[in-house]
Structure 1
Amino acid sequence: MTLIRVKGFKIFEDRHGKMRCYHRKTGTPIDLLKAPIGSAAFIAECARIAALSSMAETTRPGTLGALIKAYRESAAFQADIKRVTRNGYQRVFDYLKPIEDTPLTRFTSPFIVKLRDKALQKHKRHFANYLKTVLALLFEWGKERGHMKENPAKGIRALRRPKGQSKQNRRWSDAEREAVLAAMPPHMLPAIGLMMFTGLGPQDTLSLPKTAFREGKISTARSKTEHGVIWPVIAPLRSILDKAPAHDAITLCANSKGEPWTGSGFRSSWATLRKRLEEQGKVQPGLTLYGLRHTVAAILREAGIDLRQIADALGQKTEVMAQHYSSEADLTRTMKGVAETLETEVNNRRTASVKPE
């Protein structure tokens, strides 16, 4: 690949062979899966980020925009937060752009609740809650440095999922997994197979370099947590990878043209296939690619794997998210064994407590 130069941006290949690009001044990254280097989308994204940076220089002191600017330039944002997380924060900052001139003194808990509820109307519940979370982090940083006296977003509750509403990224059933595998075209199978049999998320799967697959194992690190993941390739995945169409892309997965997948490209192809399978009654509504991470976690928990091992399998640093991902596990078989152990232990104790006459 011939590297291009864009003023104010750094473009480089990281140690995993993955191309990266970020704005030097603000540290804002560009998602190269959505905007490949040299594409019109890439040029437009560079222009957008540069324009935001230029406009931020004119923000008035004591306003939301000034606080965001100070936070983005701080070590807390530049060095202490993973790049993928910074990208998520930036989406919130972009959303708040129309009110960046609002004085910090106007931000009260009721005002933030209104912002959250408005975000719910325009977007989804997840983004509305994320907006509240990012503001709480931003204002706490500002409070510690004297930009504001209190953190008005602290203590505001997240919006709860309405009763009866299906869970986001629900677990796939066994029948749904088999139906998708049977209908998937050959060039899409490697990606879906990796998600299905290793629990890697879509972004990590599509950017996985060929070098990550060696000696019968998938060895990589999650982009979000940078936590290492090592997965021995099980038989179903080995079969898929062995039969995959040959290509010259640096990534393990490639599209029908033999080029690395873009996130939008794979999502579009997946949406078309999923819709067709729904119409045929072979899958139920609500299937998401990220739901395969929940599926892997649930299957492992049903098999008796502990939360620490599930966290390692998913590339999580703590067991909290492993518990969340595996929450749909059917623990009937596991609890049967637990009950049998309890029964044996209780009987032994009762026998030991009975004194012979």
Structure 2
Amino acid sequence: MTKGREKRQNPYKGWKIQQDKKPPFRWRAYHRKTGEKIDCTVFEVYSLAFNMEVHRINEQHKAIEAKPGTLGMLIKLYRASAFTSGDLASRTIADYEKCFEYLRPIEGTPLSRFNSPLIVKMRDKARASRKDHFANYLVRVVSLLFAWGKERGHVSDNPAAGIRAIRKKKGAPAANRPWTDAERDAVQAAMPRHMLLPFTLMMFYGLDPQDALALPKTAIRDGRIDTRRGKTGQEVFLPLFEPVKAAMEAAGPHDAITLCANSRGKPWTYNGFSTNWHKLKTDLEAKGVIQPGLTLKGLRHTVATILREMGKDYGTIQLVLGHATEAMARHYSKRADMTKQTSAAVTDFEAELNKRKTKVVKPAL
């Protein structure tokens, strides 16, 4: 293979994606059936933006139109409206698409057949193959879809409204638990150089993994990070401080448009970073350096917990993490509140017991 070229397996069905054999090794991508091209200088190959452009063109050139009065038609109408309005963040669209892709085998089902028992059956089937979180999220997306259709006269009812979420099993570990200080230090010390910067952005700023990996170089200006959270679109302004500056210097120069780059100097994909993180985590767990249950998402909960323990209010935590509501800030920092409240309650309880102690009177001789 010619030095300088990057050979990767093409995961996109119906697309020709290749890199030139000679410098400057430009990428080229086109839809096989229609010949429509993607400008790879605008949409970097294998990035989230590239994925979304591939999907947009695929939808545009579908050979079979969705049948009127079916779930497929409702999804198509929703895509054409909500996905192009600019109201939804690209991350949210991608999450919705995972659910719509899961529903593809039943797109031909008439809307009139959908009722609450059928939604529950769909939920339970998704639970068996994709676990609880996806099953609950699927119900929320289907409810949103039918609510949208009801408002516009496409359906008369929302069969997913009021469907209860699957409850977490008793004794199940908390999802995305906060990291301990020792765990953060141990993982940071074991991180290879090309993984250190995205991990530092997650650990010190509580950025979503996808947001940290996709953060463009242009977001760094005037001594701060000026960006938006991908999921909510909320603006986030974060000053640069020493640990982050040190990680940026350690990362070294690269040609990627993103601040973080993999070992080949290319933008990270979420799957790529996640795979490397899983290997590192498994190794550290085997050595007993960290406890099971660490997730990258848990670093957002860690930042929120520490801020709350410092006495920061929910509005401040909301601004730092880019939450859309203060309620989410409360959710992410609830462990700190629980610890603070229970510690205070137990201390008060101990004091009350001490007050109730009766003095021992010695018997007269």
Q: TM-score range by the shorter chain?
A: 0.7 to 0.9
d(CA) in 1 for partners of 2:84 and 2:255? 35
Question: Do structure 1's residue 78 and structure 2's residue 84 form an aligned pair?
Answer: yes
Residues 248 and 149 of structure 1: is their aligned pair in 2 closer, same or farther, counting only changes over 3 Å?
Answer: closer
Counterpart CA distance in 2 for 1:202 and 1:153 is: 30
Change (3 A) 1:333 1:120: closer
Of 130, 135, 141, which aligns to 1:134?
141
The one of 237, 249, 259 equivalent to 1:242 is: 249
- Consecutive unaligned residues of structure 1, counting only runs of 5 or more, are 14-18, 22-30, 341-357
Quote the Cα distance in structure 2 between the aligned partners of 1:10 and 1:306. Answer: 46
Residue 63 to residue 339, structure 1, CA distance change in 2 (3 Å)? same
> TM-score, with normalisation over the residues of structure 2?
0.78
**Distance across 2 between alignment mates of 1:285 and 1:333:** 25
Q: Give 1:114 shift.
A: 0.3
Structure 1 residue 88, shift from structure 2 partner: 1.6
Measured against aligned partners, the alpha-carbon deviations of 1:215-261 in whole angstroms (never above 9, x if no partner) come to 43222111222211111223332332233333333222122222222
Give a deviation string over 1:140-160, Cα, whole Å, max 9, x none.
Answer: 122222222211111111111
Deviates more, 1:95-104 or 1:236-245: 236-245
| 2:234 corresponds to 1:220 | no
Question: 1:124 aligned to 2:131?
Answer: yes
> Root-mean-square deviation (CA), in Å?
2.9
Which stretch of structure 1 is more off in the superposition, 202-211 or 235-244? Answer: 235-244
Q: Secondary structure at the match of 2:335?
A: coil
Change (3 A) 1:56 1:172: farther
| Map of 1:165 onto structure 2 | 172
Task: Identify if the C-alpha distance between structure 1 residues 275 and 87 changes in structure 2 by more than 3 Å, giving closer, same or farther.
Answer: same
Which structure has the larger Rg over C-alpha atoms? 2
For 2:47, the equivalent position in structure 1 comes to 33
Distance in 1, matches of 2:312 and 2:345, equals 14
Query: Match of 1:317?
Result: 324
Q: Which 5+ residue runs of structure 2 have no aligned equivalent? A: 1-23, 348-365
- Aligned to 2:227, the other structure's residue is in SS state strand
TM-score with structure 1 setting the length: 0.80
Change beyond 3 A, Cα 1:121–1:103: same
Whole-angstrom distance in 1 between the partners of 2:216 and 2:37: 23
Residue pair 2:197, 2:251 contacting (<8 A) in 1 also: yes
Assess if the C-alpha contact under 8 Å between 1:186 and 1:245 holds in 2. Answer: no
Contact 1:278-1:284 at 8 Å conserved across structures: yes
Quick one: percent identity of the two aligned structures? 51
State whether residues 28 and 40 of structure 2, in contact with CA within 8 Å, keep that contact through their aligned partners in structure 1: no
Do the aligned partners of residues 9 and 124 (structure 1) sit closer, same or farther apart at CA in structure 2, a change above 3 Å counting? farther
Q: CA contact under 8 A between 1:120 and 1:127: conserved in structure 2?
A: yes
Distance 1:98 1:293 in 2: 36
2:196 corresponds, among 189, 203, 223, to 189
Bigger mean CA deviation after superposition, 275-284 or 218-227: 218-227
One-letter code of the match for 1:173? T
Q: CA deviation at 1:4?
A: 4.5
